[in-house]
C-alpha cells in the first residue's frame, strides 16, 4: 500500500515542525466521556508524532501543550492536565531515550506546580545528551508572553549599557526569545478544524506554512503527519519574491 511517507522527499524535510495539538475535549465528548479522557488519549498521538519526526530526520518538533490562557480552564481540568503531564514525563523517558530525543520546555515554567516542574527538569536532564531530535513542550506558554519578556530583557540590557539601541535588530530580538537556539518552524500543523494561532509562536511563525486538519488530536497518527509534510513539500515558499524569480535561480 502506498503511503504518504513514500511521497516525502527526504532531502527537503522541514527542519522544524510546530504543532497546535487541539481537539482532545471534543474527541472525548464524541464518545460520551469527560474531557480529561481526551487528554489521556492525546499522549499516544504525541508519541506517534515524536517517533515519526525522529525517524524521518526532522531536527525540531515543538508542541503546544498548555497555553497561558489554558490556566483559565476549570481547576479540575488544570489539575488533571498537570498530573497527566508529570506522569507522562516519567513514563515516556524510555521512548525518548530509545529514539535519541532530547526534551526541552519553554514557557512560564515557574507557574507550574512544583512536582510537575521537578518531573520536567528531571526528564530534561536525563535526555540532555540525546542528539537525533529536540522535542520542545510549550507549557504555560504564549507568544505575547514570550515577546513581552524579550522586550523587558532587552530594555534592561540597554539601560545597563550592554546593548546599544542601534544593535537591536531582528536577530537580536530572536536571541531573547525562548527559541533562541532553534530555526523558525517551516511548517505549523493545527488539528481539530480550528484555524487560528491561539497565541502560539507569534514571532517564529512569521513565514511558516500552515496546515489545518479536521482530525482531533488523539486521532492524529504518523500517516497524518506524513500527509502534512507531503502537502508542505508541494508549496512554493516565495518569501516576498515572485514565482519567476525563484525558477530563474534553479
Contact pattern from residue 205 through residue 224 relative to ligand IPE, giving x for each residue in contact according to CB under 6 A and a dash for the rest: ------------x-------
> Cβ 74 to ligand IPE, closest distance in Å?
11
CA triplet 211, 214, 216: central angle to 5 degrees? 110
Residues 167-196 as x/- pattern, contact with ligand IPE by CB under 6 A: -------------------------x-x-x
Per CB under 6 A, which region of 24-32, 104-112, 146-154, 164-172 contacts ligand IPE? 24-32
Residue 104 is a catalytic residue? no
Catalytic residue among 6, 41, 70, 180: 70
Concerning whether 70 is annotated as a catalytic residue, the answer is yes
Measured between alpha carbons, how far is 226 from 248 in angstroms, rounded to an integer? 30
User: At its nearest, how many Å lie between Mg ion and the CB of residue 38?
Assistant: 10
CB atoms inside a 10 Å sphere around CB 50:
22
Does position 67 interact with ligand IPE (CB under 6 A)? The reply is yes
Q: Which is nearer to Mg ion, 128 or 196 (CB)?
A: 196
Binding segment toward Mg ion, per CB under 5 A, in 16-24, 84-92, 113-121, 151-159: 16-24
Choices 44-52, 66-74, 144-152, 171-179; region in contact with ligand IPE by CB under 6 A: 66-74
Query: Which residues, other chains included, contact 14 with Cβ-Cβ below 8 Å and sequence gap of 6+?
Result: 58, 185, 186, 187, 229, 232
List interacting residues with Mg ion (CB under 5 A).
22
Amino acid at each position: 500500500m502506498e503511503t504518504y511517507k513514500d511521497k516525502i522527499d527526504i532531502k527537503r524535510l522541514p527542519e522544524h515542525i510546530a504543532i497546535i495539538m487541539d481537539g482532545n475535549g471534543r474527541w472525548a465528548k464524541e464518545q460520551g466521556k469527560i474531557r480529561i479522557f481526551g487528554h489521556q488519549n492525546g499522549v499516544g498521538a504525541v508519541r506517534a508524532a515524536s517517533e515519526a519526526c525522529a525517524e524521518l530526520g526532522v531536527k525540531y518538533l515543538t508542541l503546544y501543550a498548555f497555553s497561558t490562557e489554558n490556566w483559565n480552564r476549570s481547576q479540575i481540568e488544570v489539575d488533571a492536565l498537570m498530573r497527566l503531564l508529570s506522569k507522562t514525563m516519567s513514563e515516556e523517558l524510555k521512548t525518548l531515550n530509545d529514539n535519541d530525543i532530547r526534551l526541552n520546555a519553554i514557557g512560564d515554567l515557574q507557574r507550574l506546580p512544583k512536582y510537575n516542574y521537578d518531573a520536567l527538569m528531571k526528564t530534561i536532564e536525563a535526555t540532555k545528551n540525546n542528539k537525533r531530535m529536540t522535542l520542545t513542550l510549550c507549557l504555560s506558554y504564549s507568544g505575547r508572553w514570550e515577546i513581552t519578556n524579550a522586550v523587558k530583557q532587552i530594555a534592561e540590557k540597554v539601560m545597563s549599557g550592554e546593548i546599544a539601541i542601534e544593535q537591536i535588530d531582528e536577530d537580536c530580538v530572536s536571541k531573547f526569545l525562548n527559541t533562541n537556539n532553534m530555526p523558525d518552524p517551516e511548517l505549523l500543523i493545527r488539528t481539530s478544524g480550528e484555524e487560528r494561532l491561539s497565541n502560539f509562536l507569534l514571532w517564529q511563525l512569521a513565514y511558516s506554512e500552515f496546515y489545518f486538519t479536521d482530525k482531533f488530536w488523539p486521532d492524529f497518527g504518523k500517516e497524518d503527519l506524513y500527509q502534512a509534510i507531503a502537502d508542505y513539500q508541494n508549496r512554493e515558499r516565495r518569501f516576498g519574491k515572485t514565482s519567476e524569480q525563484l525558477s530563474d535561480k534553479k
